C-alpha cells in the first residue's frame, strides 16, 4: 500500500516535469532512467516520425528527459531511405531530421538498419526485367552485391561521424530448435541469393564508409539455446575472417514469462564470451494474453499476436519482469553498453496490444518504471537522497 502511494506521488511529480518540460531539482526530483544508470550503460529509445519532427511534444519531453541515446524506429530502413532504384532513389529528409534531432538534444545516434529481409523494397531483389535474382547466377549475385555496396556507401557515408552505431545486418539467423540445421534464415532473399557473403561484405563496406562507427549484428530471441548457438557460430566465423563486427545487438522483445532471469543471465554470459560489447537494442515486454505464446520478433508474427485482453494484474507482472531483466543487465554491466526501449509509450508501440513499455499512452510512468529504477545498484552521489525519499 505504502509503496503504491509513494509511486503515485512520484508518478505525479514526473508527469508534471514531463508535461511541463520543466526540470525539477533538489530532493524531490524524480529519478530518470539516464541518471539512474549513468554508471552502467546508456539508455536509449526508438523514436518515430512525429517525435523526430517534434510534433509529439509530450513524447519529445519524455525522450529528452529520460534517455541519452536514440534509434530510428523506421526512417532509416531501406524502404524509407532508398525506396526507388536509380539515381533519384533516395529520400533522406526524415533520416536527416532524425540525426539532427539527436545532435540537437546531445544524444548518441544509432542507425538501423542496412541489410534486412524486411521493409526492403521488392526491386532490390529483382533484375531490371522484373524477374527474381538467382543465387545460382553469378551476374545476378553481382547485381545484388553492387546494390548493397552502393546503398551502404551512400547511407553510412552521408552520416559519417554523426551516427555512432549502425545495425549493419538485422535478423539473419534461422529460427527454430535443435532440429533446424541452417545457421542462416533461408527465407531471406539476402541469404537465398548471396549466402553468408552479404553479411561479410556489409560489415566491410560499412567499415570503409565510416571507420570510427561501431558496427553491430542485431537479432531477436538469441536468448534461446539453439538460436544463440547459431549466433556464436556466425560471429566466430566472421571473427576468424577479420570481418569488423564490433557489437552484438540483442533485440529482447520479451513477454512476461520469457526470458526467465536464469535464461537471461545464461544468455548474457554466453554472448559475452564472444568478447564484444552487448547492446540491448529493442527492449519491450508484451503483457497481452496472446503475447505470452510469442517469443519471436518476426514482424508478421507480431502483427497478429498480442490482444486477447491483458493478463490479470498485468501492471504488476510487467513491473516484475522489467525488474528481473534490469537486475540481469546491471549484473552484466561490464559487457552491456546500451539498453534501448523500442518506443516511447504504449500507444506508440508496434506491440501496443501488449502495453509493453514503461510509460502509458498518456506518457505517465507505470509501476514498471519504478521497478526499473529500483533495479539499479545504489549510487553514492547527489541523486541518492532523492532515491531514498522515493522509497
Ligand atoms: C518495427 C517497427 O516498430 C514498426 O513500426 C514497423 O511497422 C515494423 O518494424 N525488429 C526490428 C525492428 O529490427 O525494426 C522492428 O520494428 C521490430 C522487430
Closest residue by Cα to atom 10, ligand 1, is 297
Query: Comparing C-alpha atoms, which of 220, 382, 182 is closest to residue 297?
Result: 220
The reply to whether 320 belongs to the active site is: no
How many whole angstroms from 92 Cα to the centroid of ligand 1? 19
Closest residue by Cα to atom 4, ligand 1, is 350
pLDDT at 26 over 90: no
The reply to whether 55 belongs to the active site is: no
136 secondary structure, DSSP code:
T
C-alpha grid cell, residue 352? 501496443
Q: What is the mean pLDDT of residues 108-135?
A: 98
pLDDT at 28 over 70: no
pLDDT at 391 over 90: no
Cα 347 to Cα 42: distance, rounded to the nearest angstrom: 24
The ligand 1 atom at the shortest distance from the C-alpha of residue 46 is: 3
Confidence of residue 19 (pLDDT cuts 50, 70, 90): very low
Confidence of residue 25 (pLDDT cuts 50, 70, 90): very low
Torsion, Cα of 235, 236, 241, 247 (10° steps): 40
Confidence of residue 296 (pLDDT cuts 50, 70, 90): confident
The ligand 1 atom at the shortest distance from the C-alpha of residue 281 is: 13
Please indicate, yes or no, whether the overall pTM of this predicted structure exceeds 0.95.
Answer: no
Probe ligand 1: pick from 51, 52, 70, 73, max atoms within 8 Å of CB?
A: 73
Closest residue by Cα to atom 16, ligand 1, is 73
* Contact (CB, 8 A) for 193 and 133: yes
How many whole angstroms from 163 Cα to the centroid of ligand 1? 19
* Phi and psi based region of residue 343 (left: phi greater than 0; alpha: psi -120 to 50; beta: remaining): left
Model pLDDT for residues 302-345, shown as the tens digit of each residue: 765 566 777 779 999 999 999 999 999 999 999 999 999 999 99
Single out the catalytic residue among 171, 200, 223, 264: 171
Give the relative orientation of helices 367-374 and 314-331 as an angle to the nearest 10 degrees: 20
How many whole angstroms from 302 Cα to the centroid of ligand 1? 10
Amino acid at each position: 500500500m505504502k509503496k503504491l502511494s509513494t509511486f503515485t506521488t512520484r508518478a505525479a511529480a514526473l508527469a508534471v516535469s514531463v508535461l511541463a518540460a520543466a526540470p525539477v531539482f533538489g530532493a524531490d526530483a524524480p529519478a530518470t532512467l539516464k541518471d539512474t544508470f549513468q554508471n552502467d550503460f546508456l539508455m536509449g529509445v526508438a523514436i518515430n516520425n512525429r517525435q523526430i519532427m517534434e510534433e509529439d511534444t509530450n513524447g519529445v519531453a519524455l525522450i529528452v528527459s529520460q534517455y541519452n541515446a536514440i534509434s530510428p524506429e523506421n526512417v532509416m530502413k531501406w524502404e524509407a531511405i532508398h525506396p526507388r532504384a536509380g539515381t533519384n532513389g533516395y529520400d533522406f529528409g526524415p533520416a536527416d531530421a532524425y540525426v539532427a534531432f539527436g545532435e540537437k538534444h546531445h544524444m548518441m545516434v544509432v542507425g538501423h538498419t542496412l541489410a534486412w529481409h524486411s521493409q526492403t523494397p521488392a526491386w532490390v531483389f529483382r533484375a531490371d526485367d522484373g524477374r527474381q535474382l538467382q543465387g545460382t547466377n553469378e551476374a545476378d549475385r553481382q547485381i545484388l552485391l553492387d546494390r548493397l555496396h552502393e546503398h551502404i556507401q551512400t547511407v553510412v557515408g552521408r552520416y559519417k561521424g554523426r551516427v555512432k552505431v549502425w545495425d549493419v545486418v538485422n535478423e539473419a539467423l534461422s529460427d527454430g530448435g535443435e532440429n533446424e540445421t541452417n545457421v542462416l534464415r533461408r527465407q531471406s532473399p539476402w541469404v537465398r541469393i548471396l549466402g553468408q557473403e552479404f553479411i561479410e561484405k556489409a560489415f566491410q563496406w560499412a567499415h570503409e564508409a565510416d571507420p570510427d562507427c561501431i558496427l553491430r549484428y542485431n537479432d531477436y530471441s538469441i536468448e534461446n539455446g539453439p538460436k544463440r548457438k547459431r549466433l556464436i557460430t556466425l560471429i566466430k566465423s566472421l571473427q576468424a575472417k577479420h570481418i569488423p563486427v564490433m557489437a552484438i545487438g540483442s533485440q529482447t522483445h520479451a513477454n512476461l514469462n520469457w526470458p526467465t532471469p536464469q535464461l537471461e543471465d545464461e544468455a548474457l554470459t554466453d554472448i559475452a564470451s564472444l568478447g564484444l560489447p552487448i547492446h540491448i537494442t529493442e527492449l519491450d515486454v508484451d503483457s497481452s494474453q496472446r503475447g505470452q505464446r510469442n517469443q519471436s520478433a518476426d514482424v508478421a508474427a507480431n502483427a497478429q499476436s498480442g490482444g486477447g485482453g491483458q493478463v490479470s494484474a498485468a501492471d504488476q507482472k510487467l513491473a516484475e519482469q522489467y525488474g528481473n531483466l534490469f537486475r540481469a543487465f546491471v549484473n552484466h554491466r561490464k559487457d552491456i553498453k546500451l539498453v534501448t526501449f523500442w518506443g516511447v509509450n504504449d500507444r506508440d508501440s508496434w506491440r501496443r496490444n501488449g502495453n509493453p513499455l514503461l510509460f502509458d499512452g498518456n506518457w505517465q510512468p507505470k509501476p514498471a518504471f519504478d521497478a526499473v529504477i529500483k533495479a539499479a545498484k545504489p549510487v553514492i552521489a547527489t541523486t541518492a537522497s532523492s532515491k531514498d525519499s522515493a522509497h
